Amino acid sequence: MMRTLKLCDGRSMPQIGFGTAAIGEFQQDNEFVKDTVLKAIEMGYRHIDTAALYGNERSVGQAIAESGIPRKEFFVTTKVWDTQQGHENTLQAMEESLNRLNMDYVDLYLVHWPYPEKTQATWQAMEQLHREGRARSLGLSNFRKSDIQQLMGFAEIKPVYNQLELHPYLTQKALVEYCESKGMVVSCWSPLGSGSWSGVDNSEKPISDPVITKLAEKYGVSAGQIILAWDLQQGRIVIPKAESEKHMKGNLNYGFTLTDEELTAIDNLNKNHRFGDDPDTATESNLSRPVPN
């Protein structure tokens, strides 16, 4: 049975999702991507995370349609990109995402990155989409405390979720606590440290840290499973990407529980080290990266 978390708007979502950023390669949208997502669905994943910028919404939608499982059994997340922000642009972005997904609605619609000059117009468009039933829940991604404070000043519908780069080398503890104090579930992108897209050698990632590898040896599981358990036991959403059946299965299966002392030991690995972009500086480069057709 897939474990779920309750959102502050009363809806529930699976705690373990399937991340789709850069399946194969970034913005790849073909049979390989569709077949990979289908394989994940066959393994039991029902929470699928995509985004307009990933360029693979068509393949995600095709996989869900071809699975033969009713749409209502899935929890699908997509995101509005920086170049799509603003009121009318956001409405158009959702129309395009739904067309690519071949769906009438998404379960969760996120602002992919903070763009403070556009936040109010973007959020108000998202609230309209929510009222129309095209976005069942609304949330954020990569939002800092200051961005959340800005949004809370005008939001009529509160965000239920903030998706952050979060792993043992970047725990963002103060931000996590702030999000939770505002009723938001925290989700972790690149929960194992970073994907192949980053070019970072495995030896530099948390999966190779001695604290993690010793715990993996103790419990007879992979280093990745230790990190995911660290998140799950603390009430966070995880959306690891995987392309092999072995990793897909491993990311779903847990037969152990970390002790409080072990959770703290992993917390203490924090180095405030980012593998991905920094929301303090990301907007300018994001605006130079358009969403593919």
From residue 19, how far is each of 16, 124, 209, 210, 237 by CA, in Å? Answer: 10, 27, 23, 26, 11
Binding region for substrate:
112
Question: Which element (helix H / strand E) includes 224?
Answer: helix 223-232
CA dist 282 and 138 (Å) reads 22
From residue 81, alpha-carbon distances to 51, 109, 122, 279 in Å are 8, 11, 10, 13
The one catalytic residue in 54, 115, 161, 169 is 54
Structure tokens at 148: 């959340």
Tokens of 133: 């039933």
C-alpha 54/C-alpha 37 separation (Å) is: 14
Residue type, 205: K
Look at strands 4-6 and 12-14 and give their pairing.
Answer: antiparallel
> Would you say 259 and 223 are in contact if contact means Cβ atoms under 8 Å apart?
no
Active site residue 54: yes
**Residue 52 to residue 102: CA distance in whole angstroms:** 13
Catalytic residues: 54
